[in-house]
Amino acid sequence: MIIVRNKRDLRRERQKQSGKVVFVPTMGALHAGHQALMECARREAGSEGLVIVSIFVNPTQFDRAEDLENYPSTFKQDLAVCEAAGVDLVFAPLADEIYEGDSSVVVTESMLSTTLCGARRPGHFDGVCTVVLKLYNLTHPDVMVFGKKDFQQVAVIQRMVRDLDLPVEILPVETVREENGLALSSRNTRLSSEAYAEAPSIYATLQQCARELQGGAMEPAEILGRFEEVFQELQTETRIDYVELVDAETMQPLTEFGSKDAILAVAVFFDDIRLIDHITVQTP
Ligand code: AMP
């Protein structure tokens, strides 16, 4: 496995490759969710292809300075995870390698990114689109792999690829969860033991609401109340950032369920750690 730290070396390594290139962008602090993406990339590239993983904590997609400052970093372990997953090339640049001090061009998606995390984290998806396009231009992959855990991110990137005619396939991979349902996240390591023990209630409540919506036993307007009830019972201090039922294609809020597939999405602070999760609610 080759590790490169700057754009020049990345371009040189990339140019040596004539086979299929599959790219997995990450921010490090790698866990089994990232590993699933890398394994999928390895299968997709085949033994002859090149699997590239980037490890880059992109400052422009953080809306809260403290979240960026406290973002976990486990570089040595990350390299071991990449190696075990059969990655060929790790690109781990420093921020000033990626951004010019006076960079003045940003990519904005202006529809799908207006709700959910896009509405609550100003500039977040501009940061995501811009860095993903830059990394795309540096790696020229045939395929880019993303986790469905960040489903709005997948939708926004697919739209960028469509609207800017990027010749690349986007491959979404299922969310990897603990056995108790908690979606794996780099931020989980920052949870107190109490919060970690109580966080599975997020997915359990999503499942419960999905079942009731599908069975007609719950209206969309009742969802928020259900989450408030559940979280009130916990020892951990929680604050709901949003709970929304949205159209699975447009990401726009739905006030009624039944005519099309929906996504029920939640973002909640457990102490001061922001966790997101979602469930697809198919029409009965
Ligand atoms: P991050 O390092 O958080 O930027 O994530 C890098 C990639 O891994 C993104 O495409 C995420 O959606 C994906 N990812 C993060 N957590 C999970 C998970 N639990 N299951 C599947 N993919 C994940």
* Encoded amino acid at 99, one letter: Y
Residues with C-beta less than 6 Å from any ligand 1 atom: 26-27, 33-34, 36-37, 146-147, 149-150, 173, 175-176, 183-186
Q: In testing the pocket of ligand 1, which one of 23, 24, 26 has its CB within 8 Å of the most ligand atoms?
A: 26
Instruction: Check if 34 is active-site.
Output: yes
16 contacts: CB under 8 Å, gap ≥ 6: none
Please check the confidence at residue 284 and state whether its pLDDT lies above 90: no
Ligand 1 center from residue 41 Cα (angstroms): 13
Tell me how far the alpha carbon of residue 150 is from its chain's centroid: 3
Q: Is 258 left (phi over 0), alpha (psi -120 to 50) or beta?
A: left
CA-to-CA distance for 2 and 207, rounded, in angstroms? Answer: 42
Confidence tier at 200 by pLDDT (50, 70, 90): very high
Q: What is the mean pLDDT of residues 98-102?
A: 95
Taking CA atoms only, the protein residue closest to ligand 1 atom 19 is 184
Residue closest to 266 by CA, chosen among 236, 249, 244, 239: 244
CB contact at 8 A, 220 and 247: no
Q: 56: helix, coil or strand?
A: coil
Domain coordinates in residue numbering, the chain: 2-173, 186-278
**pLDDT tens-place string over residues 18-74:** 899 999 999 999 999 999 999 999 999 999 999 999 999 999 999 999 999 999 999
Each residue's pLDDT tens digit, 220-235: 999 999 999 999 999 9
Structure tokens at 246: 């949205």
Q: What is the mean pLDDT of residues 268-272?
A: 97
- Which atom of ligand 1 has the smallest separation from the CA of 29? 2
Architecture in CATH for domain 2-173: 3-Layer(aba) Sandwich (3.40)
Instruction: Residues 186-278: name the CATH superfamily.
Output: Pantoate-beta-alanine ligase, C-terminal domain (3.30.1300.10)
pLDDT band at 95 (very low <50, low <70, confident <90, very high): confident
Measure 81 CA to ligand 1 centroid, in angstroms: 14
Please give the structure tokens belonging to residue 4: 């490169």
Mean pLDDT within 253-264: 94
Ligand 1 centroid – CA 229 distance (Å): 29
Largest Cα–Cα separation, the chain? 59
